[in-house]
Structure 1
């Protein structure tokens, strides 16, 4: 490996690190936790997560984020979706 170009050494290093540490499925744990909270707390959790998400996207949009990695892509659509979810959560709390 002494005669390899630096970019090739980086590839070898990345492959070695990938073999040593399996990927951590942290997102799956997060999704399960959110599902548990939603199941346990119902409309309260829906409203809380929607409001927190809306605030985060609102702040990000004001700072210049126009495209999201969210499936809806456009931050205006994401904000609308989260606003609808918050409204549904509040409606369910009032029932």
Structure 2
């Protein structure tokens, strides 16, 4: 048995194994989708206003390129503004739909 003493030792030349994949983002995306599904355009408006405030603050602090697919923070802000306006316009129609469905 003494010949196997080195089998369960840490080998520094190999290093640590990679941590397992944590699908936290998938959980976050699912939660955001659920909120959007339940609250409809109200959720879209709330998230877009929060994002506009965050991107505007980051742009004032010097962020010109985002990790967002749109890249330029001006494009991201324009996209978020269009979503905010569209959702604000949609809210009265969404409320009317719920009144009609529940009434």
Paired residues for 1:6-85 under 5 Å: 12-13=14-15, 16-18=16-18, 21-85=19-83
Question: Any unmatched runs of 5+ in structure 1?
Answer: 1-8
In 2: Cα distance, 1:53 partner to 1:78 partner:
9
How many residues were matched structurally?
82
In 1: Cα distance, 2:14 partner to 2:71 partner:
35
Q: CA deviation at 1:23?
A: 1.4
Question: Any unmatched runs of 5+ in structure 2?
Answer: 1-11, 94-103
Which has the larger helix fraction?
1
Structure 1 segments (4+ residues) deviating >2 Å:
none
The structure having more radius of gyration, on CA atoms, is 2
Where 1:17 maps in the other structure, the secondary structure is coil
Q: Give the TM-score normalised by the residue count of structure 1.
A: 0.80
Q: CA deviation at 1:44?
A: 0.6
Q: Give the TM-score normalised by the residue count of structure 2.
A: 0.74
In 2: Cα distance, 1:56 partner to 1:28 partner:
22
In 2: Cα distance, 1:17 partner to 1:70 partner:
30
